[in-house]
Amino acid sequence: MRYEEAGVSGVLTTWAARGWAEEHGVGSDTLRRLVRAWPRRAAVTTRPEVMDESADYDPALPDYPLHIVPFAEHPRFLAAGPDQRRQVLTGLWIGYNERVIATEHLIAEPAFDLVMCGVFPGGDAPLVRQSVQQAVVDESFHTYMHMLAIARTRELRGVRTRPEQPPLVTYRRLCRLLAEMPEEWERHVAVLVWGAVAETCINSLLALLARDDSIQPMHSLVTTLHLRDETAHGSVVTEVVRELYERMNPAQRRTLVRCLPLALEAFAAQDLSTLRLELDGAGIRGADEIVGDLRAMSSGGRLVRDFSGAQRMVEQLGLTGEVDFDFPERPAWSPGAATPR
């Protein structure tokens, strides 16, 4: 169930809001450039036919990169038959798409909804609203791409059933936090932070597969196109949150700072229960042992380890040193959040 407390009031831009924005100078040059670049950049406007293309399909190519599977070298996995290992990789690819779709639907879109509904001062500025609405259109197309990717994979691989998946771990942690917040304005800030972190960190999730020539070409293409859009979204969200943060009261700002590290950990978390489902589904012997060994590893709890986009957002907000999170060194391959020209 999505978080939908904002209602639908304030959806239409008014002349009064436009005048307020002009008077208060809402909308940076960066945000303006991002809005203008959207028709030339967005996958929905430049590659709407992408999923209709007949990309080369090679049954021998895996659906998911083996080199990022956390248990790829585990003796129990290596002892499994090749068909079992292939089935696990196919399940991981389908699960990856399911995670991306859930992140868009449960984390990003509710945050965008709050901005569009005028919950935060500054959110009714025309430039802010236009940039957010463009992002919403993008997210719908991304969900469509990943839904078709799942359907095509299931058809080509003959996947008739899937184990019931637990709710997205990022969303579970958000719901747990919201249940502890008595005030509606606190919950609004938490939802905004979760969405901002998702939109500034999803690059790292997509980069795990984008442009990878070891997997099916269509899988690489879908994630590459999504990555290109999200690179722009990281800049859009950073600019929008900066505009909103400047108009927040002290209590809202403190809540935002408190929520940031919680959201970062929630987004990066590797849900070991989903890995267990894929291992069990393929009949891998010793699934308990594999998952137990992963749980004992210091690095086994994170799927994403590049937080470059969120770190840049923290810097733009002037919160360096105030957010209780140990940002790792930025990797050289990080796609970043460069502003399209």
Tens of pLDDT, residue by residue over 192-240, are 999 999 988 888 888 889 889 899 988 988 898 888 887 777 788 888 9
Compute the average pLDDT of residues 155-166. 92
Report the 10 Å Cβ neighbour count for 222. Answer: 26
User: What was the pLDDT predicted at 37?
Assistant: 78
Query: What CA–CA distance (Å, rounded) separates 223 from 230?
Result: 10
Query: What CA–CA distance (Å, rounded) separates 108 from 3?
Result: 11
Q: Which of 58, 335, 301 has its CA nearest to residue 209?
A: 335
Compute the average pLDDT of residues 307-324. 90
Q: Which fold has domain 15-47+62-316?
A: Ribonucleotide Reductase, subunit A (1.10.620)
Give the CA distances from residue 311 to residues 138, 193, 242, in Å, rounded to whole numbers and listed in that order. 23, 13, 13
Query: What CA–CA distance (Å, rounded) separates 293 from 324?
Result: 28
Q: What is the pTM of this model?
A: 0.82
Q: For residue 15, with 0-12 CB atoms within 10 Å meaning exposed, 13-18 middle and 19 or more buried, which class applies? A: exposed
Query: What CA–CA distance (Å, rounded) separates 302 from 314?
Result: 20
Q: What percent of the chain shows pLDDT beyond 90?
A: 50
**List of residues 6+ apart from 73 with CB closer than 8 A:** none
pLDDT over 50 at 95, yes or no:
yes
User: What was the pLDDT predicted at 229?
Assistant: 82
User: What was the pLDDT predicted at 32?
Assistant: 80
Residue 302 bridge partners (DSSP): 269
Positive or negative torsion for Cα 137, 138, 141, 142: negative
Compute the average pLDDT of residues 71-100. 96
